[in-house]
């Protein structure tokens, strides 16, 4: 750190202003200065060694373990109610798993790949190396403020980058702990933690990063991409959309009901890959609803008053969801509260409501629900369900419940989505060796596993020409023998 600081001239140092915590000054200028310092470090040490990267990941791992209780308390504070067991399950354990997976495979990921140069330039050696891009910007959301901050951070650090992390303003308590965790484990040479509201996030996405990853809504993702385009900054967009569940005639309705409710009500449905709506085979509907009611009564015996039922993050989200229900009542759409053991809603808690065959023009069928409302549509043939999904924006996740391998294959090959899970929901996100990402309106690019390492790396071709250099025989002036040689080579190709 001292060596780097000494290489920054006095003129340059005077132009570097500290971050204004109250954002009273120009937020873009403050962010720009922070980026300038990180880029300085990146240019001086453009290729951190394996040991340096491993050390960073290990420090982050130890800090996450030591701050476990503080993070759990902060999450409960920000949400109002969120069971520590749930936060540990959906945030801390997957984040820790990502760190350990990256450490285990880092040496392999960093290894250059040999390629075969064409015989025409023999003797030569060809390879592909994975170069750190430089400084990566990460914009994380409020719904999983720890996991969706640390998971891309792990990939970026493993790839040898510096990082600017913009956290959501809706989780101030979690941000305070996360900032302390990062400052203690990773110096300012590697990570800068940024907070602020909409104007700061907008300025952040306009910075000339070497790569930018955004997690959030499709609408905001479009604006982030437009901002990044000013500098031709490559982007990874982790968005959302409407992730469907298909319940086939061969499905076990009890297993399907339990798995759907697990995915739908973890974090009160505030998950980008939460089941958004069900496409249920007509003959399965009665059994599915029966098992859903039984499962809910077991999971939450006091309804939304149960201590394990998570709050919505704020009143804005509650108002949005109750607005969907108001529109449904006005349109006289049939719906039911599947949790009669307690109130339908109170404070920032909303019971799970099942909508029966809702009209396609309703907002709840046009927008990502992101909460405990679950539309149920009926179909007669699996091809009908696949066609329904295929004419809509490509989903971030699709869930199929089926015991028929032919149906598995039909869904695997018959539609395009970010990820497919058969006979379960959500669990693919927590698999450290599987890539995660959307396609189309559900996202662009991916991270996690080796694919995340590649996302944050520049794949650089390296060609080493050895002696003798026969290419000089093909240089101008082009004589008759060169013409014949090239004609023969053309026929050979």
Residue 272 catalytic? yes
Question: Which position among 238, 368, 407, 410 bears the catalytic label?
Answer: 238
DSSP secondary structure, 297-361, as one string: HHH-TTGGGSTTSPPPSSHHHHHHHHHHHHHHHHTT--EEES-TTS-SEETTEE--EEEES--TT
Instruction: Give the count of domains, the chain.
Output: 2
Per-residue pLDDT reduced to its tens digit, 317-359: 999 999 999 999 999 999 999 999 889 999 899 999 999 999 9
DSSP secondary structure, 171-196, as one string: -HHHHHHHHHHHHHHS-TTTEEEE--
- Assess if residue 484 is contained within a domain: no
Per-residue pLDDT reduced to its tens digit, 40-82: 999 999 999 999 999 999 999 999 999 999 999 999 999 999 9
Inter-residue contact 232 to 209 (CB < 8 Å): no
CA atoms within 13 A on the CB side of 72: 15
Per-residue pLDDT reduced to its tens digit, 269-326: 999 999 999 999 999 999 999 999 999 999 999 999 999 999 999 999 999 999 999 9
The burial class, CB within 10 Å (0-12 / 13-18 / 19+), for 129 is: middle
- Assess if residue 317 is contained within a domain: yes
Note whether 116 and 60 are same-domain residues: yes
- Assess if residue 108 is contained within a domain: yes
Note whether 376 and 342 are same-domain residues: yes
In whole angstroms, what is the distance from residue 463 CA to residue 470 CA?
Answer: 15
How confident is the model at residue 25, as a pLDDT? Answer: 56
Note whether 155 and 112 are same-domain residues: yes
Q: Which residues constitute the domain of residue 31? A: 2-239+447-458
Note whether 358 and 409 are same-domain residues: yes
Show Cβ contacts of residue 430 under 8 Å, excluding neighbours closer than 6 positions: 90, 93, 94, 97
- The domain that holds 395 is classified in CATH as 3.40.309.10
Tokens of 490: 């053309």
Note whether 176 and 285 are same-domain residues: no
The burial class, CB within 10 Å (0-12 / 13-18 / 19+), for 279 is: buried
Question: Which position among 272, 280, 311, 417 bears the catalytic label?
Answer: 272
Residue 238 catalytic? yes
Q: Residue ranges of the alpha helices (H) in 16-92?
A: 27-44, 50-66, 68-79, 84-87
Note whether 272 and 138 are same-domain residues: no
Strands 353-356 and 335-337: antiparallel
Note whether 319 and 358 are same-domain residues: yes
Q: Which of 212, 119, 218 is nearest to 470 (CA)?
A: 119
List residues bridging with 350 in a β-sheet: 345
SS3 108: helix
- pTM check: above 0.85: yes
Phi, psi (5° rounding) for residue 434? -115, 140
In whole angstroms, what is the distance from residue 423 CA to residue 399 CA?
Answer: 7
Note whether 181 and 40 are same-domain residues: yes
CA atoms within 13 A on the CB side of 469: 5
SS3 53: helix
- Assess if residue 231 is contained within a domain: yes
How confident is the model at residue 1, as a pLDDT? Answer: 41
């Amino acid at each position: 750190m001292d060596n780097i600081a000494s290489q920054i001239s006095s003129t340059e140092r005077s132009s570097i202003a500290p971050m204004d915590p109250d954002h009273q000054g120009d937020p873009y200028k403050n962010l720009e200065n922070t980026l300038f310092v990180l880029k300085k470090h990146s240019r001086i040490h453009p290729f951190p060694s394996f040991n340096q990267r491993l050390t960073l990941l290990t420090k982050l791992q130890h800090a996450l373990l030591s701050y476990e209780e503080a993070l759990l308390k902060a999450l409960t504070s920000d949400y109002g109610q969120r069971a520590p067991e749930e936060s540990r399950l959906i945030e801390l354990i997957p984040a820790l798993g990502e760190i350990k997976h990256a450490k285990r495979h880092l040496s392999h990921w960093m290894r250059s790949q040999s390629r075969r140069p064409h015989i025409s330039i023999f003797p030569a050696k060809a390879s592909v190396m994975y170069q750190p891009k430089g400084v990566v910007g990460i914009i994380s959301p409020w719904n999983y403020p720890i996991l969706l901050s640390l998971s891309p951070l792990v990939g970026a650090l493993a790839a040898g980058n510096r990082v600017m992390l913009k956290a959501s303003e809706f989780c101030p308590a979690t941000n305070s702990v996360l900032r302390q965790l990062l400052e203690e484990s990773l110096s300012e040479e590697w990570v800068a933690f940024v907070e602020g509201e909409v104007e700061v996030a907008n300025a952040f996405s306009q910075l000339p990063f070497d790569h930018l990853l955004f997690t959030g809504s499709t609408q905001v993702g479009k604006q982030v991409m437009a901002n990044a385009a000013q500098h031709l900054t490559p982007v990874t967009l982790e968005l959302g959309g409407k992730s469907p569940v298909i319940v086939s005639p061969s499905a076990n309705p009890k297993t399907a009901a339990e798995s759907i409710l697990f995915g739908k009500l973890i974090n009160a449905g505030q998950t980008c890959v939460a089941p958004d709506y069900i496409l249920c085979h007509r003959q399965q509907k009665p059994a599915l609803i029966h098992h859903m009611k039984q499962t809910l009564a077991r999971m939450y015996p006091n309804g939304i008053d149960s201590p394990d039922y998570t709050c919505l993050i704020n009143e804005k989200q509650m108002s949005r969801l109750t607005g969907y229900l108001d529109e449904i009542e006005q349109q006289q759409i049939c719906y039911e509260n599947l949790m009669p053991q307690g109130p339908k809603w109170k404070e920032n808690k909303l019971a799970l409501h099942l909508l029966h065959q809702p009209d396609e023009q309703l907002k709840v069928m046009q927008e990502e629900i992101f909460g405990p409302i679950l539309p149920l549509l009926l179909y007669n043939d699996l091809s009908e369900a696949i066609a329904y999904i295929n004419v809509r924006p490509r989903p971030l996740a699709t869930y199929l419940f089926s015991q028929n391998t032919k149906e598995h294959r039909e869904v695997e090959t018959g539609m395009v989505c970010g990820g497919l899970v058969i006979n379960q929901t959500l669990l693919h996100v927590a698999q450290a060796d599987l890539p995660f990402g959307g396609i189309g309106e559900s996202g662009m690019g991916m991270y996690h596993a080796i694919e995340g390492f590649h996302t944050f790396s520049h794949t650089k071709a390296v060609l080493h020409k050895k002696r003798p250099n026969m290419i000089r025989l093909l240089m101008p002036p082009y004589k008759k023998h060169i013409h014949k040689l090239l004609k023969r080579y053309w026929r050979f190709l």
